[in-house]
Amino acid sequence: MNQAVATGATGAKGEIFGTPIFGPAAAQKGYALNKMCFSFNDAANRADFVKDEAGYCARYGLTAEQTDAILKRDLLRLLAHGGNAYYLAKFAGILGLNMQDIGALQTGMTVEQFKAKLLAARDN
């Protein structure tokens, strides 16, 4: 596949704007955050989180920055602090968001624009 290489917000070659590369450093940085988000597979854990969000974050050892981003619903900041989009989708689900909502946030598009972009890419 012949594809142009993009540079993202940090200027790193191959990075797509708004989409930090999730490699070993990000995995280590976001381990506690992603572990907490994985816990949301269980309805009882989702209920515990809703009752005391900051306490639930502390239980998993999130950093102050991660906790602040959780409390402010800042999904892009969570990605920057080691969040994996697939684990963050579990958190986004609590907020009534899905992967297309996250994709729209990452690209700076509306959800409708993002869906149209996905459909256009599928048709090409």
- What CATH number corresponds to the domain at position 78? 1.10.700.10
pLDDT value, residue 30? 95
Dihedral Cα 37, 38, 42, 48, nearest 10 deg: -30
pLDDT in tens, the chain (124 residues): 333 333 344 445 555 665 677 888 888 999 999 999 999 999 999 999 999 999 999 999 999 999 999 999 988 899 889 999 889 989 988 988 888 888 888 888 899 999 898 888 888 7
Contacts of 43 (CB under 8 A, 6+ apart): none
Structural domain harbouring 29: 24-96
Whether 102 is in a domain gets the answer no
Q: Is 46 exposed, middle or buried (0-12, 13-18, 19+ CB in 10 A)?
A: middle
pLDDT value, residue 15? 57
Whether 15 is in a domain gets the answer no
Whether 53 is in a domain gets the answer yes
Whether 68 is in a domain gets the answer yes
pLDDT value, residue 51? 97
Whether 119 is in a domain gets the answer no
Q: Is the pTM value of this prediction over 0.85?
A: no
CA distance 58 to 13: 35
Whether 104 is in a domain gets the answer no
pLDDT value, residue 16? 60
pLDDT value, residue 86? 86
As for how many domains the chain has, the answer is 1
Whether 80 is in a domain gets the answer yes
